[in-house]
Structure 1
Amino acid sequence: MKSLFYFLVLVPFALIAQPRFSVSVSDSLVLEANTFWGADSFGNLYYTKDNVFYKKSGDKTFSFYALSLGAVSSVDLLNPLKITLFYKDFNRAVVLDNQLSEIQRIDFNTNQTYRMVAHCTTSYERNLWVFNVDLQRLELYNYAQDKALVSTQPIADKVKEQLSNYNFCWLLTDKRLIQYNIYGSPVSEFPLENASKLHRFKDSILFVQDGNLFYFDAKFRDLVAISLEKTNFKDFSITNDKLYLYQNNQLTIYNLTFQP
């Protein structure tokens, strides 16, 4: 009988490395929104206002609203052809196409799929990463088959945020950041407190800590501070080498050049 061992790499909180980014303002525009969720690689902007989800594409604006579901809790733009909206208050998710037409609505309250979900993000094909509150575990949920394909061991910490790509999923707790592979096995973790607003960047992560923006390298070996003239912002997003900061109906776009 073969045994399969997974090694969990514990990464100590590294010292802040020397700056490896050059930042310059590219553009600035007015955007009336309650929440700015981000931009895709084509420069399309995504935001919510009065519980309506919008996509601004040049002179065109698309919209989606499900007023019966209340406020949008999170938006995942990993795949602009399959955008995941999560409505935590009603325990439901909606998958939209690139024109914000509804592809799939997932109701986690139904008998077959019932699970109380705290976080929901995109994975590959018809799969979502969901954090099951009742079982305190992360699950790779297939909404076509209506079942969890993969689940992690229970997590004792309080999970604050969740972020994923096609290969990994990260959970940010009040004490640490844990990285899981597609099989639900933990592959790395490191202590991290007072962090928020996780975003994907070059196979790694940007986040906010104490009002400042930080970057972890691809292997989480060091922590890099990103120096910005504008330090006050409500929402931020990163796409390719464009950094978007949103505050008081003003969206400022920066060119972010990474020097490995």
Structure 2
Amino acid sequence: MRKTAASKLFLFIACLLCCTWSYGQALIPIDSTSINTPVSASIDRLNHIYIADKKGNLNQYRNTSLIQTFSPQQMGNITLVEAWNPLKIFVFYADFQEYVFLDRFLSASQRFPAPELSRYSGMMTMSYDNNLWIVDYINFGLRKYNINFGDYTINTPFDLILDPDKYEITFIREYQNLVFISDKNSGILVFDNLGNYLKKIPAKGVNHFSFKGDDLYYISDSTLIKVNIYSDKKSFLPLPGKALFAFLYDENKLALISESALTSYLIKEK
């Protein structure tokens, strides 16, 4: 029995070492800049990084250089930023129950009231067809709202997916015709673009995630964890310190956002 247990432990450690992403690689700091306490972040397809701070500002960076800032007249905590399309950046305010579309100059033409869409939207993001995915806490489900028709087209209840008494939705994003929702208490839920539930990625405690290629990645215990969204294969990269957000960009660069700094690193072969 002892030998079997030891063998299982050895195989587990060997497997972990084989799939460790950081093997033979090192993080080389490139540059860093001070920032205010970040509450949300995103990256666009041009690799600009967007950081929303506690003062209600949304700052756009290229590497660690500040390019421009969105400072609305009505300040408030930004719950979610989706900037993948740099010509139409989506900003959601849960406290105000409002959302905003920004252009590439970070200018907003209008703020739209979310209560018209749902009695209470806990989390919201833009879909690839320029409509809205909504996590509705009152109806307890994932809903899709068609902006042009002014009506819901998809409604997927969470009753059989989440514990209604124990859940904490932290982020939502559509990627490669899939919708990903992180619940801190159970993992990352995956739906198709028709709202059908597909699977759950076992990753508890996730506040934010992003994508590169076919990989989803998130921070856990000062480690960047990558998960292939189709095969579920995982890899790991230990981080040099505590970070709130992480973004992989270009071919071999990593941006880490902490409470007080945005730092870019080169991922280099040893």
TM-score band, normalised by shorter chain: 0.7 to 0.9
Asked if the contact 2:37/2:259 (under 8 Å) is kept, the reply is: no
Of all paired residues, the percent bearing the same amino acid is 19
The answer to whether the 8 Å contact 1:88/1:117 transfers is yes
Question: Which TM-score applies when normalising by structure 2?
Answer: 0.77
Match of 2:86 among 80, 85, 108: 80
CA distance in 2, matches of 1:67, 1:147: 30
Give the paired residue count: 241
- Deviation at residue 79 of structure 1 after TM alignment: 1.4
RMSD of aligned Cα (Å): 2.7
Letter in 2 for 1:74: L
Report the counterpart of residue 57 of structure 2 in structure 1.
52
- 1:131-156, Cα deviation, whole Å (9 max, x unpaired): 01111111122223222221212343
Q: Return closer, same or farther for 1:73/1:67 CA change in 2, 3 Å cut-off.
A: farther
- Mapped to 1, the partners of 2:245 and 2:74 lie a distance apart of 25
Name which of 112, 115, 119 aligns with 2:119. Answer: 115
Matches within 5 A, 1:104-143: 104-110=110-116, 113-143=117-147
Unmatched tracts of structure 2, length 5 or more: 1-14
2:262 is matched with which residue? Answer: 251
1:205-260 residue CA offsets vs partner (Å, 9 max, x unmatched): 111223322110131422211133x13223322334432112354322123489xx
User: Which 10-residue stretch deviates more, 183-192 or 133-142?
Assistant: 183-192
Q: 1:166 to 1:128 in 2, by over 3 A?
A: farther
How far apart, CA to CA, are the structure 2 residues paired with 1:116 and 1:69?
A: 20
Scaled by the length of structure 1, the TM-score of the pair is: 0.80
| Deviation, structure 1 residue 188 | 2.1
TM-aligned CA distance change 1:144 to 1:104, over 3 Å: farther
Distance 1:60 1:177 in 2: 32
1:34 aligns with 2:37: yes
- Between Structure 1 and Structure 2, the one with more helix by share is 2
C-alpha displacement of 1:100: 0.9
Gaps of 5+ in 1: 1-14
The structure 1 segments of at least 4 consecutive aligned residues displaced by more than 6 Å after TM superposition are none
Matching of residue 238 in structure 1 with residue 248 in structure 2: yes
Give 1 or 2 for the bigger CA radius of gyration: 2
